[in-house]
């Protein structure tokens, strides 16, 4: 069965430091991978996706993510964190054979960036 | 810009009431989805729809039903609300798979409805 794991419930980072939010997945075959962000009292906003090609994907707001097939991971990264990056982050996966577009989400990681 | 709207941001209902949550998208998307979000559990799919009058069960359909009479509107119905249905409900929409030629379609989310069942 498909699954997504975000091993950290919360990540704390000082402003200006690099940040990493971890995600591992389990699917049969090659996946489509996504990151979404949720600011307080808002819906989810799409950040970036991996479909094929270069393992390093760049997205909105200076975020990037690295697809690692051997480790089945898709960690979200940013070189220099901002206080405004504080939010809830979700990793999601879809199997390539899934025609319906159904996504499986991780449980979310709360990112807190302190000044 | 894609816009997905939900009828209420906050809703308080009593146990046993019938509850309607409505979602409207303005991008002519074929696919629409209803999720519930609970702390520590992430988002779980309740129902989704590929087209008008079509629906498919997601991972947690029990206690819910849906209606899609028009392409732009997808309603989630709680026939008899219970306290364990207190949650944040999120609607999403996307194009039919492959419509953009990319082989995938991004889901766009509404702002959510926070439902409290007393």
Q: How distant is the Cα of B40 from the closest Cα of chain A, in angstroms?
A: 5
Q: Does A49 touch chain B (CB under 8 A)?
A: yes
Predicted confidence (pLDDT) per residue in B20-47, tens digit = 999 999 989 988 999 999 988 889 999 9
- In whole angstroms, how far apart are CA B94 and each of A48, A95, A104, B26, B31? 15, 16, 15, 11, 5
What's the confidence (pLDDT) of residue A54? 87
Predicted confidence (pLDDT) per residue in A57-108, tens digit = 999 899 999 999 999 999 999 999 999 999 999 999 986 665 566 788 999 9
Q: Which residues in chain B are contacts of A103 at CB distance < 8 A?
A: 43, 45, 107
Q: Which residues in chain B are contacts of A9 at CB distance < 8 A?
A: 40
Q: Which residues in chain A are contacts of B100 at CB distance < 8 A?
A: none
Q: Does A107 touch chain B (CB under 8 A)?
A: yes
Q: Which residues in chain A are contacts of B97 at CB distance < 8 A?
A: 99-101
Query: Which residue carries 């809830």 as its tokens?
Result: A88
d(CA B36, CA B85): 9
- Picking from B100, B15, B8, the residue whose alpha carbon sits closest to that of residue A101 is B100
Q: Does residue B99 carry a pLDDT above 80?
A: no
What's the confidence (pLDDT) of residue B63? 96
Residue of B nearest to A88 (CA): B42
Under DSSP, the state recorded for B27 is S
CB–CB contact B42 A100 (8 Å): no
């Amino acid at each position: 069965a498909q699954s997504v794991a975000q091993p950290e419930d919360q990540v704390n980072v000082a402003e200006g430091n690099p940040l990493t939010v971890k995600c591992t997945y389990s699917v049969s075959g090659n996946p489509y991978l996504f990151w979404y962000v949720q600011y307080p009292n808002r819906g989810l906003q799409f950040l970036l996706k991996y479909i094929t090609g270069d393992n390093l994907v760049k997205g909105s707001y200076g975020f990037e993510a690295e697809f690692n097939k051997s480790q089945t991971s898709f960690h979200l990264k940013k070189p220099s964190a901002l206080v405004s990056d504080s939010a809830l982050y979700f990793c999601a996966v879809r199997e390539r054979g899934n025609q319906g577009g159904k996504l499986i989400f991780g449980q979310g990681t709360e990112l807190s960036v302190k000044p | 810009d894609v816009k997905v709207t939900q009828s209420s941001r906050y809703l308080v209902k009593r146990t046993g009431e019938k509850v309607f949550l409505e979602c409207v998208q303005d991008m002519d998307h074929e696919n629409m989805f209803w999720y519930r979000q609970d702390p520590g559990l992430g988002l779980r799919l309740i129902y989704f729809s590929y087209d008008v009058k079509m629906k498919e069960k997601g991972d947690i359909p029990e206690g819910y039903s849906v209606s899609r009479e028009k392409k732009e509107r997808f309603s989630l119905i709680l026939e008899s609300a219970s306290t364990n249905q207190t949650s944040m409900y999120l609607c999403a929409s996307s194009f039919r798979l492959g419509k953009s030629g990319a082989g995938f379609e991004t889901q766009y989310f509404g702002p959510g409805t926070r439902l409290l069942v007393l």
